[in-house]
Structure 1
Amino acid sequence: MRAFWGGLILLLPLLAVADTTSDAFNSGAEFGKGNKGQGTNSLNNPDSVTGSIPGYTSNPPETGYYGGINGDDGGLVNKGMEGLLNSNAGQAVIDAGTKNPLPVIDPNAPFITAGKDAESNADGMINGTGNPQQCQETNVSKSEFEKYTCERDAWIEQSCSRTAKIVIEGDSTWETQTLQYELYDIPMQEINGRNIVTIVPQVSGEIIQATYSWQNNTGNKPRFFMNVSILGAEIPWHNKGNYQNVSFTPVPATLTAGVAFTSSHPHELRDGSGRQKFYKHVPMSIRLVLRVKKNNSVPKVEWTESCGFQKSRGVLAAKSAPVFVSSVCSEAGGYRPVTIDGVVQQVWSDCWEYLDQYLVQSGSNGTCEPLMNDPACTVTGTQCLTQNGSYCEHERVNYECQRKFTSGGIICGGEYFCKTGDCSDTDGAGDSGFDEAVSKLAGLASAADDVKKGQNAMDVRAFTGKVTSCRKAIAGFSNCCKDSGWGQDVGLSACNSEELALGKAKAKKITVSLGERCDREVLGVCLQKSKVYCVFEGKLARIIQEQGRRDQLGVGFGSGKNPDCRGITIPELQNINFDLINFSDFYSDLMDNQKIPDSSVMVKQVKDRIAAQVQQQQGQGGIK
């Protein structure tokens, strides 16, 4: 089997090179180049797609198989099995196993003669009448240690944001104040034929009572008439006596400190003998009773904290408490205005928002969960992939798992006869090598299905990955790069669908971590980081990329800032030694995905045909 495999590995790349350089390939490539723009033109003009692509429909039936990130396969696997069992192609494959020409078995073959000897002596061996020194029951066992790797979060970065806001502390009381103004003693202006006195109050409040008083000191002079305007109220008034504490209604009925109000009357007053000119306001006083608010309020800076995790969770879950890492001012300080009872005040803070970083034990087993639960697996070493000070955030763990193979049989004359049918597992390497051989073949088949072509038709690549990232320590939200715990922590609703899909890809062991990049930087300090990964189509692609491209060829995947998830070229694929690749991670998928129809029936058919051929040989005298 290994000799066949080595020849197969050598042959396939040579065939690939020969085919790609043939005239037929070059002709096909030129034809493809000449038509490469037609599909793009059709897609750029959606109205012409229906006529350009035969059978085009905007809602093909295959859409029923896609359930989104959280959905299932819509029964695609079952449909595939139905297609295998019910289609002509599937039946042809199944029939090939039963209708091929019968193999010719040499009656003198060692396994036939040994079997006949065992058959002839079976009665004696079973009932104990045979030679006890010649045959005896025995069990044969053999152990192998297979190597596995997995990754898990040890500590994860989480963040809290502390935000400052201005609050008003203190309360207000009300008191009554009385204001009185002697208008005759206040400087007067003459504006547009009116004598105007302007008063600027020093307090604010609600006017609950307004009165005016006038003392007539002119003796028996002829009376005169005028209108006095006080605080927007028009007061008809004439000189025929004294007025004391006459109420009036100001408009509006409020005073604001610093906002002037006026009292005015006509510039010239008429009497019966002619005109008389006044240079001061008429001898009037105004008395105002106010309801004044006495304010004891002062502004204060108050801090509130928002975290994407529960700080007490570590203690409650018997884990270590969160470890404080750093604090960065994410919103610069300075003055901010606040208005208290109409007065604008400036409030100072050195910083208006801080971003605090913590390290929290993740409690996640990542992809190590199955190995940790397997008592036959033992940790052989760890490697830190992401270091944060003296703490390791993300680590790779190496395991060795013991696999024991056992078979039961009889030893007769030094020859072992297997009775349980699994002798190949206890002979030689410890297993039949089936898993390894199929994994290698599946790797080559996957390479053929996953080729990517660039502008140069000869630039064929396989196992191409996709660059994907997740945000860590989002301010006020949870870490979206966690291996597990999705839906359990505060703030995970802020994580997008790409980050959710990446979490599932890590659980499937189809990702390679490339490191971190900074998404937001302030004054040389990174406030927002992302972890970057290469995501591949399956485990085979990830295994060959890691152990073939990276470990054997020394071609890395770049970094978080400059990721390189490109496919493997044909020359690189030729230089990879598949015999050195450990496919153990893929074995479980291989066994889980086996779909062998009616295996018991097919085994019985093979046994019956062998028995029939042996009987036919006996009838011809070939076997005695």
Structure 2
Amino acid sequence: MKCILGLIVMILFAQSHAKNVNQSYKDGEQFASTHQQYSVDLLTSLNVYDIPGYQANLPQEHYYGGVTQKHTRLESDAQSEMLTNTMGKEVVEGFSQRPSYRINPNSESMQKLDQIAEHGDAIMRGENTEKTTCTLKPQECQYTWQEKTCLSSKATGILHCAKHLRLEVVPYKAENYSLYLRHRGRKYSPYTISIDLNQMDTCTQGQSTCYTLYQGSQVASAIVFPEQCTSVKISITDNKGLVVVEKTVSCTDKTLSLKVGQCRFGRCNVPYTHTVSMTVESNQSQEYWDNQCQHLEQKTKEGFCHVSEPLSCVEPNQTRVINEVPFTRACWKERASYSCGGQGENTCDSTQLDRCEQSASVCVKETDGRCMTYQQTYQCPLNQCTENELICGQDAFCLEGDCSTHTYNPSDENEFKKAMSSLSAVADASKTFNGNANYLFQGQKMECSDLMLNVANCCRDEGWGIDLNLAHCSDEEKKLGTNRENKLAVPTGRYCYKRKKFPGGSVCVEHHQTFCVFQSKLARIVQEQGRRNQLGISFGYGQYSNCSGITPQQMQLIQFEHIDFSEFYQDIKGRMKEPDYQQTANGISERLKGFYSQGDING
């Protein structure tokens, strides 16, 4: 009975639960049906222009054709834009340009040079090193070489130039006058009179205190100051000492105030009429732009260069004092940059030329006397082996020491001179490199004095070694004289250092000669023939001499093969002492005999 009751309860519970599930399903179905249309209405009523940042009809929308689109023009358009866009072209040009010569550190010759530099002493003694073994029996290797050629173009160089605002104060006019003064007042008290340089005669107007300015025997004309007037000086010469200047004139104020009369010990001397001499000196400014960009501007017209950075002011809004007169200008210096060089083929692949040695370089394209494209020739080894000789150098000697006499045949001396000079220039440049200013072969401006009529000449060309009549010269002038005798200086001009004024004008009593002095003769040669003659960058003139160094970019544009180094290598040749090759050969032969009698080396 209990089991039946339990079964009935379970059936009733299951029916009740099923009814609740069905009701929940119907409620959910009704909710979904109600909100389906609400979602559709929401999407159709959406205004995309209310979305922040939305833009319609973009020019790039044609690149997207849907998820089924396989290809677009995006990649081809990007390639085309890279070749026509200014920045893209510069990137392509930068990657395609290569220097003419390249040292391969993996080549056989460079590996041998590293061994000689690291173990030179041991090799000369016939001792074994880590990578080189010296044995009594020489071992030979056969080499097969393949010649490869390719084209390379010089890299585009960036040259900088500047325009400097030059400003000088120079005398305009100095004129002498006679100043006539008249006073009808009391004679026991000095008086003050105002003189207007625009009005030269007031005595004809019936004034009790008046003046008249004469030039010669005539009443002077109104005094005119220069348009670029910088300063005016009035000088009064009075033998009796009765006139004192209380207020002088200026470029903008032509009114002069004088005090006339003198009192001493209670007694005054005030003349009824009095005449003094007066001198009026006026100075004016002269300014001009020193354009050091003319050479690059001409090269731009010829198509060899183009402006990479236009002129811009680098020294703006400054006040400078020149001859005790302050000048304020909106700009004192402008600077521009030019990209110069050639664009051509570059087919020299470094991966294909690995372990190759360059044997020749021939110019195949020239523009304006400057090579733009080179044909490079390389010798590439097909088979290599390690040499294992008794003498760990280039030449082997006979073991018994009874070989025929070795002779030395020097190569072309001119080629050696060129190579020696160019390598020396690179070595000298590394010593004088100014890392802060990024300059090579930096020079120094130096001056010497040359007094009028050659009374004391500290700019003489010779005699500094024996110091005759040079005691009055400064230490810097003596140092400059020595540098000139050693041919380290380049003259840049002459200017007036000191001027003597006198009534009616002035004369320069001391000139200064200016020079650019360099640390070595080699630096001077590269500066003169490379910077000035080839690149057209001048040394300036006089007090505005430009002794700056050469930038690495400018160094790349200098054609060292066109520089005359004869002056330099004549000095080197005079100091060279040719080695005794026969004595060296005999010494090595004697050492070989000793090694042979001992057996294996280091054994």
Return the TM-score normalized by structure 2: 0.31
Return the TM-score normalized by structure 1: 0.30
* Higher strand content, 1 or 2: 1
